[in-house]
Amino acid sequence: MLLADLPQYSTSSFDQPVYYTRQGRGAPLLLIHGSLCDYRYWRWQIPALSDLHLVVAPSLRGCWPAALRGPDASYSVAQHARDLAGLIRELHGDRPVHVLGHSRGAQVAVELARLAPELVGSLILADPGFRLAGEPPAPSVHSQAVALLQQGQAEAALSLFVDTVNGAGTWAKMVGWFKAMVRDNAYTLLSQIREIELAVDPAHIAGLEHPVLLIGGAHSPRRYASRMDALQALWPAAPRVTIPMASHGMNLANPKAFNTAVAEFLAPLSRR
């Protein structure tokens, strides 16, 4: 699928437009991208999963095609969850949707489930990157990347960030469309830095009753696997899938395995 093949829609029922693409029919599936991305990140999931689902992929507030160029307090996990709750209600009324969140998008997905549990049919968390309350803060790449951005070294900032979350040398190997997307969203880091210590309280999510799937990349940095270890302790019934030959960007590195894992998890839930 070419990026130009993704139709763009928007809703003006919020204080800022929410842009999204959608394709398919069937049980709704909401895809929530992570840092420095937008709905184009899901280019290999939208066509594959739309055979059985109405796939809706939004660009979170502040991301392309209305990307921020400076700090903005409305760029937050809480606001993004509120926006998505409004989008679900506008598109599907009170019908619950399946929700897939990657990296920072997994934290938005969890916040959405807390905010409006009636709108979420299931949760799929791919390499969730959030910290749990009570854990010591880990060194963050955000501060270093923001410092480089503020010095006018955008390329160095993006290389640092992408290599940190995926593995050394990743940025240099990335294809052109991916680099263009990341460059479009570079300055969202100036707002993200406000939430680098934002943690998820286990007490607030332990009681979530949604079916949950955890997905990780076989070569993802260890911190993502340790996060899923902790989540499995909270949700013992949650299945866990490891995507082979893939790091943090597993849905791009091995889309066939990723799409199969998602489809197989959702198949029995969508028949209910």
Confidence of residue 137 (pLDDT cuts 50, 70, 90): confident
Average pLDDT over residues 234-254: 97
pLDDT band at 272 (very low <50, low <70, confident <90, very high): low
Q: Is the pLDDT of residue 13 over 80?
A: no
Task: Give the pLDDT confidence of 51-104 residue by residue, as tens digits.
Answer: 999 999 999 999 999 999 999 999 999 999 999 999 999 999 989 999 999 999
| Average pLDDT along the chain | 94
What pLDDT, on a 0 to 100 scale, did the predictor assign at position 57?
A: 98
Q: What is the pLDDT of residue 4?
A: 54
Give me the pLDDT at residue 12, please: 79
Task: Report pLDDT digits (tens) over 145-159.
Answer: 999 999 999 999 999
Q: Identify the pLDDT of residue 205.
A: 93
Both structure tokens of 206: 């332990």
The mean per-residue pLDDT over the stretch 131-138 comes to 83
Helix axes 154-166, 176-184, angle to 10 degrees: 110
> Over 70: is that where the pLDDT of 236 sits?
yes
pLDDT of residue 86: 95
Binned at pLDDT 50, 70 and 90, residue 21 comes out as: very high
Name the pLDDT band for 138 (thresholds 50, 70, 90).
confident
pLDDT at position 196 is 85
pLDDT digits (tens, 9 = 90+) for 162-184: 999 999 999 999 999 999 999 99
First to last CA, the chain: 31
Structural domains of the chain in order of their starting residue, each with its CATH number: 3-139+198-270 (3.40.50.1820)
pLDDT for the residue 3: 52
What's the one-letter identity of residue 60? L
Band the pLDDT of 135: cuts 50, 70, 90: confident
22 close to 9: Cβ distance less than 8 angstroms: yes
Q: Return the percentage of the chain with pLDDT > 70, whole number.
A: 98
Cβ–Cβ < 8 Å for 142, 196: yes
**Average confidence (pLDDT) over 214-223:** 95
Per the confidence metrics, is the pTM higher than 0.85?
A: yes
Q: Output the 3-class SS for the chain.
A: CCHHHCCCEEECCCCCCEEEEEEECCEEEEEECCCCCCHHHHCCCHHHHCCCEEEEEEECCCCCCCCCCCCCCCCCHHHHHHHHHHHHHHHHCCCCEEEEEECHHHHHHHHHHHHCHHHEEEEEEECCCCEECCCCCCCCHHHHHHHHHHCCCHHHHHHHHHHHHHCCCHHHHCCHHHHHHHHHCHHHHHHHHHHCCCEECHHHHCCCCCCEEEEEECCCCHHHHHHHHHHHHHCCCCCEEEECCCCCCHHHHCHHHHHHHHHHHHHHHHCC
Q: What is the pLDDT of residue 2?
A: 46
Nearest to 258 by CA among 227, 222, 216: 216
